[in-house]
Each structure stands twice: as structure tokens, then as C-alpha cells.
Amino acid sequence: MLAPLFFSLASRSFQRQIAYRAAALAGFFTNFFFGMLRAALLAALYNARPEMAGISLAGAVTFTGLTQAMIGVQSLFSWYEVMNSVYSGAVAGDLLKPMGYFRFWLAQDAGRALAQFFLRGLPMMLFYAIFFRITVPQTFGQWMAFVLSLGLAWLLCFAWRFWINLAGFWTPNALGLVRLGFILLYFFSGFLMPLRFFPDWFVQLSAFTPFPYMVNTVVEIYLGVLQGPQLLQALAQQAFWAVVMIGICQLTLSAGVRRLVILGG
Amino acid sequence: MGLYFRLISVQIRSQMQYRLQFVVDMLATMLISVASFFTIAFVMQRFGSVAGWSLGEIAFLYGMVETSFGVMDLLFSGFDPGNFGRQTRLGRFDQLLLRPASITLQVFGSEFTLRRLGRIFQGAAVFFFAISLVKPHWTLPHLLFLPFVFLSQVLFFGGLFIIGAALSFWTLEALEIVNIFTYGGTEMMAYPMHIYPSWLRNFFTYILPAIFLNYTPAIYLLNKPDPLHFPAYTPFLAPLAGFGVFFAALAFWNYGIRHYQSSGT
Amino acid sequence: MPPIIQVSHLTKYFKVSVHHRGFWGAFRNLISRQYRLARAVDGITFQVQPGELVGYLGPNGAGKSTTIKMLAGLLVPSGGEILVNGYLPWRERQAYVAKIGAVFGQRTTLWWDLPVIESLELLQYIYRIPGDRFRRNLDEFRQVLALDSFLDIPVRALSLGQRMRADLCAALLHDPLLLFLDEPTIGLDVVAKERIRQFILHINRARGVTVLLTTHDLSDVEKLCERVLIIDHGQLLYDGELTSLRDRFGGKRRLLVDFAQEYVDPQVEGAQITVREGSRVTYEFERNTITASGLISRLSELYRIRDLEVREPEIEETVRRIYEQKLLENH
């Protein structure tokens, strides 16, 4: 019953994204430029080594392309929309909509992510294929696992972004806190470098957080580093964290809404 | 100058009214830089060096750029392209035009974002970490040259901010391109430039002289071999490049103001 | 005395990009961008004498703000001439703006996080106002604008009305000869509007400051201006006294009456019934047929009235009537 509403929200958000063509184009070139710098750095680090921690140089270069492509799709660095809607007061109207507040934003983020996939994600991989030697998944099954993993990563990453934005319900100066939330993601997700390159203690530490499942897992599945049972386990962990994170979001949200109602916005 | 200090003191007092927010923001700014540096430090433990440069030498490049960019970011906050563009759309620039004082001076005095101190502290810490690792045998000329390199970098980045602010008179959408040169420039200059593909390096040598601001001076200061075979005087071009970009930017800025006054927004 | 504002054949064109709408339109925007030339101000000529208080009217998007921005030196004209107070506003900016004041609608010139008084002191420094003159002016404005209750409060915490008062004070501390006001009463309640109007009259009468104000609130104009300029689509439609504007183009006034009981057909001579909802009846009448008080006394002889209200025609309607009557041709 609610599906049409979900799709209409997603489609409107998709169109909004498409409308900002110059911004998307500029964003794409910025992402690609940074990707080139990161690829050059990795090439210099490899310095004629054939591989490191199970990742070839071509794999490492592909890693930079994939992560740069995910910046837009996952909105890895910034997303303050829920916080801003609390501050602008738009939240009051949105809470009355005939669908949950989380789903309301999930629908819009789905449209946003899909638009960014076409505007910045896919072109990034195409550019990488032209400028660099990159690797692609070898089997149909691996492609399917990658797509599934990317979808789960998006859901989990959205839930994280949504959750840190909820700080806006508690304080009028939540910007710094939300920013801190993005820094954690930036550091622990394996965005900067494949987590396999980090010291073991760091990898073990980050495995207790939801962050590796937002970026690193997707990359490792794409590169074929994870196979068979390991791959299935990784997907299961992604799904587990997505469910946990969504649950935390709903609990926090209802507390936030209670607070908003008591304080009268 | 009296006016400048009065305007700055207003900005500082304003930010001190939101002390908690200031601390959180500064921490966030600092943590982003810390996360990037720790990542490269961790990864270098595995790989050993970046194309012949040790961790201490990389940290030297990194610390220099982070500190000078941080100082610039503080002094030139008023020109921060994205923010300046938004403020201009809101009519703030018109307000400055209505006051009988130099426009450029007023823009310098319109922001002084103290949280950028976080980046300066972090950059300085990395710089001194680098010195402790590298233990360079500096003589008086080296020590006299160092502040000039630093000042040149500040002016260079400041020039880029001014160019970005001037561009925002035409378009806000394409501003992310400016990020390629500012934020991309710092990222790039934090590593030895010979790791980049030659066309990219040539652009940042002959079009935008970024290479002369950190890399070639570091070759002299750290006594590294120069795989690019620049002439022996090249390290000392830093002030020329820094001041050159800065004054070219001021000229473009004045041109931008004339455009703004003939087109509005 | 020579005019303080001289504007002749002033024009301003803008390039406007054309956007396509809808889903496929978004894709088309991605590929191509088209421009058209918009004439915001299209050849206007007028003069203002020192000490005048002139209302500059017109519907939204008529070119009011563009004109004011050119007069204040923020925009360079595409054509025509402007001479204000002996200056070309945009060319000799610093010298020129030292002698004018401007308040643009809801945008404050004050520093958001500073107490009002500190903003004013900073402006004293910027405009190099001598100490005794600053204190004298401040004392006067404090009284007339009743600033004392919020001088020590940061601007961000002020109400809209308080902020407008503080901004007016800020715009006048340096004794400008000329004051530009863009929508000075927009968004304010009745009491705040009245206070602002009183102050504008005060500085015009007592200090001889020439005032040019834009508004689309006709009651601002009625209470303040003897002379009005009306602009639409970038062209000057009317330049003259307010009273004659009223008489010639005022359009129908309306009387909203709430009767004490429901009458079957409460007709009255000189006015037509346009709306009837139970005991509430709306009449329309021409100003040169009957006055409002005449109509009210006729009605109260015939019926029992609980409440009533006179509505003046909207400025949009007046402008439309001027346009329809092709005033352009004989002006």
C-alpha cells in the first residue's frame, strides 16, 4: 500500500539530483581527481611489488575508483538533511506523513543514491577503465554478491547517517557532532586505504564497529578477496549491522520525537 | 589595518559565545587530519616507503602543507569560496559594498574561523614529528629559507581561495572545481610530486606552480635526490610562485567584483 | 537647488537561463542551457529634490530593487545615466556611500552575534563619525526609536521590528543626505510598522534627509509619501502626487460590513453588493461617487451594523488599472 508513496518520494528525489547537473559534473571531476592522486600514491607504495595482503596493484587502483565512486552514492562525507529539517521545522509536517519518518527519508535517499550512481558512480568506473588497468568481478555470482553487498552497505550507511542526524532533536548545535560521526566513518570504514593494509589490532578494532561493512566489505567482495564461506559471512555481517542500526535509529527516533513533542518543537 | 583588527575581534568574540560548539568543531577539524595522517603512517609500516621517501620525509611534506593550509584557512576564511558564494547570494556582499571601506579588507575581516586552529595544531605536530624522525642537518640558510617557504604556501593557498571567491560571482555550481585545486592541491602536495603521472605533474608545474611550493623546497631542505632533474635554483622559486599566484588572484578578484556589479546575482 | 537624484533613460538587462521542467527536462538541462535577456529596468527617467520623501512602487519583479541597487551603487547600469548627490554611484563607491544610508528589507547590516551598541560603535569607526556627533545622533535615535531596551542584546536575539529599528539607526548615524529603504515594513506587525513610519517621517521632516522607499504596502505610502513613482515591467507608469493617483486610478474601494442581523437584500445607493455570506456583506464603491463615511452613514440609517471595515484597493490592482488605461501613451 505504501509502495507507491515510497517510489514517488524516491523518484522526486532522483529528479532533484538530476537537476543539479553542473554540481554533479563538478563533483564527479573532483572525485576523479582525488582518485588519481590516491591511485598514484598506491602505485608508489607498491613500488613494483606484485601484491600486498592479497590485493594486486590493479586491485588497489580499482579500490580507489570504487571508493571514489561510493562517495556520491553513499554520501560518505556529508549529509545533514534530517538535522536541517529539524532546525527548519519541516520535521513537524514530515512526521505527520502516512509513512514512518525513517522510511520517508529512506525513500528519498534511495532516489538520491540512484541518481548519484548514474551521475557519479558509474561514470567513475568507466573513467577508471579508460585511464587505468582495473579489475572486474570474474563470475556472475561475484557480480551478484557485489550488487547485494553494495545495497546492504547503502542501507547500513544510510542508517548511520540518519542516526547521527538525530542529534538535531537534542541540541541546536548538532553540526559538530554529526561531523564527528562522519569522521568515524571516514577513518574506520576502509575508505582511505583497504583495511587489510592496516595493523592487525586496528582491523580487529574496526570489526567491532559497523563502519567496515559500509565500504571495505563491498570493495573486498568486488576485488574477489572474499570467497565462499567468507563472502557469505561478510554479507551476513552487513545484514546484521543494517538490522541493528535500523533498530537503533527507530528507538532513538521515538525518543527524539517524544522530546520534540514535550518541548513543542 | 585598525579596521581589520576590529573586525577580526568581532569574529573571535562571536565564536567564543558558542564555546562548546567551537571545541567540538575544532576537534572534528583536527580529527579529520589526524585520521588521514595515521592512515598513511599505518600503511607505510607495511610498505616501507613512498617512492624512496621515508615516513619522516613524507611527514615533513605533509606537516608543512597542513600547517600552511591551516593558517591560510584561518586568515582567508572570509574568502572560503563555498561560504563566500552563499553569503553573497544572501546579500552580504552588498552590505560590504555599502560601507565606505576597502572591499578586500572587509572580506578579510568578515570571517575568522577559529576551529581551523585544529588543523594548524595537527599540522605542526606532524611537522615536529617529521623533524624528530629525519633529524635534518640544517645550517643558517636552511633555517632562514624555511619561513619563506611557509609564507609562500600560505599566499599560494590564499590566492586559490580568492580565485574561488571571485569565481562564485559567476557560478556557485562549478565551485567544486576550485576544491580540486585547494583541497586537491594540499592532498597532492603532501606527497613527493614525482609519484604522479607526468601530465598531471606538468599541469601543477607550468599552469599552477604547486610543485615549487613544497616539493622542490623539501628536496633542498631534506637533501633528497631530484628524479625530475630541475635546475639547481628551483627550490628557491617558492616565494616567486607564492607571491605570483597571490597577486594574480587579487587582480582576478577585482575583475570579479566588476562583473558582480554589472550582473548582480 | 539641483536635484539630489537625477536618473535618465536608465536601463538594466540581465541574462537569465531557461530551465526545462520535469524528469526529461532535467536531462535536457544537463545537456544544453539557453539564455534570454530580461529587461529589469527599461528606460526610466526621474528626478528627486533634496528633502523629498518618495515612494517607489510596483508589483514584485517590477524592477524596484534593481533600480534601488543601481542608485546605491551596487549595480552598474546597462544604459542611461545616474547622478546622485553629484556622484556616479558605482564609480566613486567609497566616497559616495559615506554620504548615503540604506536598509534593504530583512537583511541586517549589523553583526549577528554582537550586542547592538557594539555594532553601532563599529560603524562609528568605519564611517569615521566624530565622537560628539555620534553621541548626539545616538541619543536622539535612542529616544525616537526606543532602542534602550535592547541596545545590549545580540542582534540574533532581536525581533524583526527591533532589528529594523536598530538597522535604521545604523543607517543614519553618519548623517547621510539620502536614505534608501527597500521594504522597510515587510513582515512587521501594525504597531511596529507605525513606529517605523513615524521615524521615517521624523528624519525626513526634522533632519531634511531625502528618502526613497520601495514597498508594496500601500498604507506605507499613504502615511509617508506625497509623491509616488510606479514601475511595472521595468517602465515608469506614473510619477506624481499620491492624491491624484488615487483620484484617477484608485479603483473601487470596498466596505466589509457585518450586520447585527441577516437582511434579505441590504441595498444602498452608490454601492454594489459583491459578496454575501449570511450577515457579512461586501460592498464596492467608487471614490468619486461617494465617500466611505457617507456610505457608512447611509447604511447605518437603514440597517443595524455590528462591525465594519474599509478596504483600499491593492497596489497591484491600481497598477493594473493604470496599465489597462494605457497611461503610458499620455505620460
Query: Is pLDDT at C29 greater than 80 in this prediction?
Result: no
Contact B187, B62 (CB under 8 A): no
* Residue A249 confidence (pLDDT): 97
Q: Please, where are the H alpha helices in A52-139?
A: 57-74, 81-88, 90-95, 101-116, 122-131
User: What's the rounded Cα separation, in Å, for the pair C143 and B57?
Assistant: 67
Contacts of C201 (CB under 8 A, 6+ apart): C53, C223, C224
Report CB contact under 8 Å: B264, C14: yes
Report CB contact under 8 Å: C125, B264: no
Mean pLDDT (whole number) for C27-39: 68
Average pLDDT, rounded, for chain C: 86
Contacts of B220 (CB under 8 A, 6+ apart): B142, B145, B235, B236
Q: For residue C91, what is its C-alpha cell?
A: 564609480
Query: Is pLDDT at C27 greater than 60 in this prediction?
Result: no
Searching chain C, which residue's CA lies closest to the CA of residue A15?
Answer: C23
Query: Is pLDDT at B19 greater than 70 in this prediction?
Result: yes
Residue among B35, B42, B196 minimizing CB distance to A183: B35
Coil/strand/helix, residue A260 = helix
Instruction: Write down the residue that cell numbers 536608465 correspond to.
Output: C10
Instruction: Write down the residue that cell numbers 606537516 correspond to.
Output: B63
* Residue C183 confidence (pLDDT): 87
Query: Given pLDDT bands bounded at 50, 70 and 90, which one contains residue A73?
Result: very high
Mean pLDDT (whole number) for B78-88: 91
Burial of C278 (0-12, 13-18, 19+ CB in 10 A): exposed
Task: Write down how long chain C is.
Answer: 331
Report CB contact under 8 Å: C76, B99: no
Coil/strand/helix, residue C35 = strand
Strands (E), A128-187: none
* Residue B82 confidence (pLDDT): 87
Report CB contact under 8 Å: A18, C22: no
Coil/strand/helix, residue B205 = helix
Query: Is pLDDT at C327 greater than 60 in this prediction?
Result: no
Query: pLDDT digit string (tens) for A134-172?
Result: 999 999 999 999 999 999 999 999 999 999 999 999 988
* DSSP summary character for residue C109: -
% of chain B surpassing 70 pLDDT: 98
Contact A59, A197 (CB under 8 A): no
Coil/strand/helix, residue C311 = strand
Contacts of C74 in chain B (CB under 8 A): 94, 97-98, 261, 264
Mean pLDDT (whole number) for A52-56: 94
Contacts of A11 in chain C (CB under 8 A): 23
* Residue B8 CB-half CA count within 13 A: 13
Report CB contact under 8 Å: B179, A30: yes
Q: How many CB atoms lie within 10 A of CB C264?
A: 5
User: What's the rounded Cα separation, in Å, for the pair B141 and B150?
Assistant: 15
Query: pLDDT digit string (tens) for B25-75?
Result: 888 888 888 999 999 999 999 999 999 999 999 999 999 999 999 999 999
Query: Is pLDDT at C26 greater than 60 in this prediction?
Result: no
Mean pLDDT (whole number) for B151-174: 91
Report CB contact under 8 Å: A15, C29: no
* Residue A264 confidence (pLDDT): 57
Of A229-243, B101-115, B218-232, C289-303, least confident by mean pLDDT is C289-303
Residue among B24, B32, B40 minimizing CB distance to A177: B24
Contact A68, A32 (CB under 8 A): yes
Q: Please, where are the H alpha helices in B137-236?
A: 140-167, 175-189, 198-202, 215-221
Asked if the C-beta of B82 comes within 8 angstroms of chain A's C-beta atoms, the answer is: no
Report CB contact under 8 Å: A44, B51: yes
Name the helix (H) or strand (E) containing C307: strand C305-311
Query: Which candidate, B167, C284, B68, places its Cα nearest to that of A26?
Result: B167
Report CB contact under 8 Å: A183, B32: yes
Asked if the C-beta of A22 comes within 8 angstroms of chain B's C-beta atoms, the answer is: yes
Coil/strand/helix, residue A264 = coil
Where does residue B180 fall: left (phi above 0), alpha (psi -120 to 50 degrees), or beta otherwise? alpha
Q: Bridge-partner residues for C47, per DSSP?
A: C6
Searching chain B, which residue's CA lies closest to the CA of residue A40?
Answer: B196
Contacts of C125 in chain B (CB under 8 A): 2-3, 6
* Residue B84 confidence (pLDDT): 93
Query: Is pLDDT at C330 greater than 60 in this prediction?
Result: no
Q: For residue C205, what is its C-alpha cell?
A: 521632516
Query: Given pLDDT bands bounded at 50, 70 and 90, which one contains residue C253?
Result: confident
Asked if the C-beta of B172 comes within 8 angstroms of chain C's C-beta atoms, the answer is: no
* Residue A107 confidence (pLDDT): 95
Contact A214, A157 (CB under 8 A): yes
Handedness of CA A8, A9, A10, A11 (dihedral sign): positive
Query: Is pLDDT at C252 greater than 60 in this prediction?
Result: yes
* DSSP summary character for residue C87: B
Range 227-246 of B in CB contact (< 8 A) with A? none
Report CB contact under 8 Å: B21, A175: yes
Contact A102, A243 (CB under 8 A): no
Report CB contact under 8 Å: C125, B97: no
Query: Given pLDDT bands bounded at 50, 70 and 90, which one contains residue C250?
Result: low
Contacts of C26 in chain A (CB under 8 A): 15, 18-19, 21
Report CB contact under 8 Å: C113, B264: no
Asked if the C-beta of B32 comes within 8 angstroms of chain A's C-beta atoms, the answer is: yes
**Number of folded domains in chain A?**
1
Searching chain B, which residue's CA lies closest to the CA of residue C114?
Answer: B14
Query: Which candidate, C207, C204, C137, places its Cα nearest to that of C173?
Result: C137
Average pLDDT, rounded, for chain B: 93
Query: pLDDT digit string (tens) for A1-15?
Result: 457 888 888 888 888
Residue among B21, B176, B195 minimizing CB distance to A27: B176
Q: For residue A112, what is its C-alpha cell?
A: 538520491
Mean pLDDT (whole number) for C200-226: 88
Q: Phi and psi of C213, rounded to 5°?
A: -125, 140
User: How many cross-chain Cβ pairs, A to B, lie less than 8 Å apart?
Assistant: 104
Report CB contact under 8 Å: C126, B99: yes
Q: How many CB atoms lie within 10 A of CB C65?
A: 22
Q: For residue B62, what is its C-alpha cell?
A: 605533509
Asked if the C-beta of A23 comes within 8 angstroms of chain C's C-beta atoms, the answer is: no
Highest mean pLDDT out of A151-165, B112-126, B174-188, C294-308: A151-165
Contacts of C34 (CB under 8 A, 6+ apart): C17, C18
Q: For residue B112, what is its C-alpha cell?
A: 575568522
In a mutational test of the A interface, the residue from B43, B62, B114, B170 whose CB has the highest number of chain A CBs within 10 Å is: B43
Mean pLDDT (whole number) for B195-203: 94
Query: Is pLDDT at C53 greater than 90 in this prediction?
Result: yes
Query: pLDDT digit string (tens) for C84-96?
Result: 999 999 888 999 9
User: What's the rounded Cα separation, in Å, for the pair B245 and B210?
Assistant: 10
Tabulate helix, strand, coil % of chain C (nearest 5).
40, 30, 30
Range 90-149 of A in CB contact (< 8 A) with C? none
In terms of residue numbers, what domain contains A253? 3-263
DSSP C248-298: HH---EEEEEEESS--S---BTTBEEEEEETTEEEEEE-TTT--HHHHHHH
Contacts of B35 (CB under 8 A, 6+ apart): A183, A186, A187, A192
End-to-end CA distance of chain A: 30
Q: How many CB atoms lie within 10 A of CB B148?
A: 14
* Residue B265 confidence (pLDDT): 56
Query: Given pLDDT bands bounded at 50, 70 and 90, which one contains residue B256?
Result: very high
Cα separation values, C77 from A180, C16, C81, C86, C214, Å: 48, 17, 8, 17, 19
Asked if the C-beta of A143 comes within 8 angstroms of chain B's C-beta atoms, the answer is: no
Query: pLDDT digit string (tens) for C169-209?
Result: 999 999 999 999 988 888 888 888 898 999 999 999 999 99
Mean pLDDT (whole number) for C150-164: 92
Mean pLDDT (whole number) for A25-32: 88
Cα of A171 to nearest chain C Cα, Å: 18
Instruction: Write down the residue that cell numbers 600503511 correspond to.
Output: B43
Contact B35, A186 (CB under 8 A): yes
Q: Bridge-partner residues for C307, per DSSP?
A: C258
Please name the chains neighbouring B, where neighbouring means 3+ C-beta pairs under 8 angstroms: A, C
**Number of folded domains in chain B?**
1
In terms of residue numbers, what domain contains B135? 2-263
Asked if the C-beta of B262 comes within 8 angstroms of chain C's C-beta atoms, the answer is: yes
Residue among A23, A30, A173 minimizing CB distance to B173: A23
With vertex at residue B64, the alpha carbon angle to CA B62 and CA B70, rounded to the nearest 5 degrees, is 95
Cα of C33 to nearest chain A Cα, Å: 11
